[in-house]
Amino acid sequence: MQQLDNCPICNHTEFIQFLKVRDYFLSHEEFQLVSCKKCSFVFTNPRPSEQEIYRYYETEEYLSHSNRRKTLFDHIYFQVKKLNLRSKLSTIRKYYPQPENILDYGCGTGSFVEYCNKNNIQTDGLEPSLQASAIAKSTNHKFNANICSKLDQLPAAKNYDVITLWHVLEHIHKLNETFTKLKDRLSPDGLLIIALPNHNSYDRKHFRKYWAGYDVPRHLYHFDQKTFRLFAKKHGMDIKAVHPMYFDAFYISMLSLKYIDQKNHYASSLLTGLKSNLYGRRNDQDYSSLIYVLAK
C-alpha cells in the first residue's frame, strides 16, 4: 500500500479521516478516505500502488474494460454508453467545431475512439489495461489509430486539438505529472475535456458509504467543483464550461442500491436519479457527474 504524505492539490500535510468505504464491486476490502485540512480535497489514502492496483480491475464485470452483455444491467450499461458517445462528441464540437485530431486518454475498449474515427476525426487512444486495449486495437485497426499504453509511445511531435478523459483522471496515480504531460500534448488552442464523479452531488450525500461513485480503490481522488477548480488553477488551465452527465445519476443510483442489498432496484434508481438531477439543476450544477472543458 502507498501512503500519501502531501495533498495532491495543495501539498498540505495534515488530513482528517473522512470516511471508510468498502470495495463493494470486487474485493470487499475497506479503504480510508481522508480530507485535506487546508483545501478539503478528499482522496483515498492509503491506496494500492501502481503495481498493486491492477488486481482490482481484473474481472469481466468491470464493463468499461469488457464487452460482456450477459445481464439486463449489462445491456442497460451499453445502451446508455451508445447514447453517451453522441453526446460526448457533441460537447466537443460545441467548443471546438472542427478538431483535426483527438486523443482519448483511458479509452477502455475504444468505443469513443471508433465513434470519432467513423465521424472523420483522426482519433488515437491510450489504455493501460491489456484486455481492454486488445479490444480497442481490434475495433480501430481499420482507421490506423494509435492505441498505446503510455503517452511516450505516441509520436513525439504529435499534438492534439482535443484530449478527453472520460471518468479517467480519478484513476491516475501520478496525477500532477500526467496532467502536465497531457497539457503539453495540446495544440496551442487545444482543449482538455474531463468527466468526473461529483463529490458534492445529491446521490453522494444520499448513499454516503454506499455511493458507487467512490469506487475504491480504483478511484484515488474524489473531486467536487471547488477542488477541481483549485486543481485546474494549479496547472494554469482555465475552465471554459461545466456540463452535467444526466445518465450518470441513474447508473450510479442503480449500482449504489445494489451495493446496499445485492438486489437490482430499477424503479428506485430512476427515482433517485431524477432527484439527483433536480438537485443539480437547483444547486450550482452539482449533478452526479460533470464534464469540465479546459483551455490553456
pTM: 0.92
CATH code at position 287: 3.40.50.150
Residue 270 lies in a domain: yes
> DSSP of 263-281, one letter per residue?
S--HHHHHHHHHHHHHHHH
Residue 245 placed within a domain = yes
pLDDT in tens, 29-62: 999 999 999 999 999 999 999 999 999 988 765 5
| 283 belongs to a structural domain | yes
Q: Which domain holds residue 197?
A: 48-295
pLDDT, tens only, 67-95: 555 666 666 767 777 888 999 999 999 99
Does residue 17 belong to any structural domain of this protein? no
Answer whether residue 56 is part of any domain: yes
Q: Does 138 fall in a domain?
A: yes
Cβ neighbours, 10 Å, residue 266? 13
Q: Tell me whether residue 26 is in a domain.
A: no
Indicate whether 13 belongs to any domain: no
- CA distance linking residue 169 with residue 9, whole number of Å: 13
pLDDT digits (tens, 9 = 90+) for 222-262: 999 999 999 999 999 999 999 999 999 999 999 999 999 87
Count the domains in the chain. 1
